[in-house]
Amino acid sequence: MKTEELIIYGFTFLVCLGIVFYYVYRGSKRSKQVQQKVAQAKEDGRFEPVSLHPYIDLNTCIGSGACITACPEKDILGLIDGQATVINASSCIGHGACFHACPVDAISLRIGTEKRGVDLPHVKPSYETNINGIYIAGELGGMGLIKNSAEQGVQAVENIARLRPERNTEEYDLLIIGAGPAGIAGALTAKSKGLKFKIVDQDSLGGTVFTFPRSKVVMTKPMNLPLYGKLKLVNTSKEELLSIWNEALGRNEIEVEEHCEIDQIIPEGAYNFKVVAKNEKVFRAKQVLIAIGRRGTPRKLNIPGEQSTKVAYRLLEPETIEGEKIVIVGGGDSAVESAMLLMDHNEVHLSYRNEKFGRIKTQNKSNLDAAVAAGKIKLLLGSNLKEIRKEDIVYTDAQGEEIRLQNDRVYIFAGGELPISFLQKAGIEVDKKFGKIVRKH
């Protein structure tokens, strides 16, 4: 072999070796970075999922990284030693993009973990519960994302429409409880199937989405809305989404009976239900679709002064509030996002009983850190609100010392009471799920 050829082969070998070394080094460096993020997530309490989340089968995963690329959220997934891992699981919003992107079907979507159970009603693949004629779709069944909830609402009503029990002229084929994504999509499907139906909501059109701050960006994915068409929305405002729903319902002459909270569903024989509202109004239907959120009634602190008019449990029009001293109570995304919407024109204190925020999205954590550093939000970590008075509040700090703070308005974001008793009164079975598979290939 000629000297020139040896030099060429040698040079090529060194280049290839250098490339291999570079990729191995880069992969090792990224693995260490992800390991550090996982360790930090565990320390901050963000490693354990709170709702729907991806579960990775390491025996199948090939480390393609497709799941990481597909996920629109930051630092939910990463690669360690050439295999995918979950990082900030508590920030996962359950859209399932990683599930669809995996080329080897190594990801399934699950509810709960081996250690942490989640209360879920018993629901068949048809979305029917153990009570024949009562169906559940959307957030209450574990699917909280708008697109997933809407799809479940459509599928549930399609199954309902296949079974058409005879009814008297004054009865409904279907009563839909909840006017959120699942309920609206279900109502439009019911209209397309020629069902006689009624849709009611304890608040207003939009369900949980209605309680978002007006300027909050709703994360959703393109979806088909029956009798309306394809919605190509990814990042949109609450107002735009509600406008579309109003247009879709109005175009099809569907009215939502708002401020009608259902108290009890009473089975009266096969496919025959008496549904009683808290205002004593009675509906009779052959089948019922429950499409309410998991929060149900806002959870209260049960402290003196909480009944004051200065207290609210949702933020609807932040742009109208200026020059006030505001205390926001809570450690979740709703509390943090509301604080950031109010901070530019008000004096905002954010009170949280723990020392760290462990349940918020990564981007919200970054935005909050920046706002605190800029002096726009004052944190009261390790604090507990004890009393709400006309001109101030009383709270205890992390050392247990009682402190008074002048205050004009209080927002409480302490979650909501799960509607377990409501379901159980109707005879619906509710179980605690530990790592239940919701979707798999």
Per-residue pLDDT reduced to its tens digit, 319-362: 889 999 999 999 988 899 999 999 999 999 999 999 888 778 77
Closest-CA residue to 325 (of 397, 216, 411): 411
What is the H or E stretch that residue 152 is in? helix 146-162
Residues of the chain with pLDDT > 70, as a percent, come to 85
Domains of the chain: 3-116 (3.30.70.20), 119-296+419-439 (3.50.50.60), 305-416 (3.50.50.60)
- Alpha-helix residue ranges (DSSP H) falling in 232-388: 238-251, 333-342, 362-373
> Regarding predicted confidence, which is higher, 341 or 364?
341
Contact predicate 134/273, CB 8 Å: yes
pLDDT confidence tier of residue 15, bands split at 50, 70 and 90: low
Contact between 68 and 78 (Cβ < 8 Å): yes
430, 120 contact by CB (below 8 A): yes
Write down the pLDDT at residue 392.
95
Q: How many angstroms separate the CA atoms of 173 and 40, rounded?
A: 52
The token pair at 434 is 């530990």
Distance in angstroms between the alpha carbons of the first and the last residue of the chain = 55
265, two tokens? 């569903």
User: What is d(CA 229, CA 413) in angstroms, rounded to the nearest whole number?
Assistant: 35
- For residues 19-38, average pLDDT: 74
Q: How far apart, in Å, are the Cα atoms of 48 and each of 111, 113, 274, 359, 360?
A: 11, 8, 41, 9, 12
219 versus 383: the higher-pLDDT residue is 383
Tokens of 142: 């574990």
**Rounded CA separation 368/91 (Å):** 15
Task: Name the DSSP letter for residue 382.
Answer: T
Q: What confidence tens digit (pLDDT) does each residue in 297-325 have?
A: 678 899 999 988 899 888 877 888 999 99
Q: Which own/partner pairs from 127-130 qualify as long-range (CB within 8 Å, at least 24 positions apart)?
A: 127/152, 127/155, 127/156, 127/159, 128/159, 129/428, 129/429, 130/427, 130/428, 130/429
pLDDT for residue 213 is more than 90 = no
Residue 336: what pLDDT?
Answer: 93
Which three-class secondary structure state does DSSP give residue 174? strand
Per-residue pLDDT tens digits for 232-267: 766 677 777 888 889 999 999 999 998 899 999 999
How distant is the alpha carbon of residue 353 from its chain centre?
22
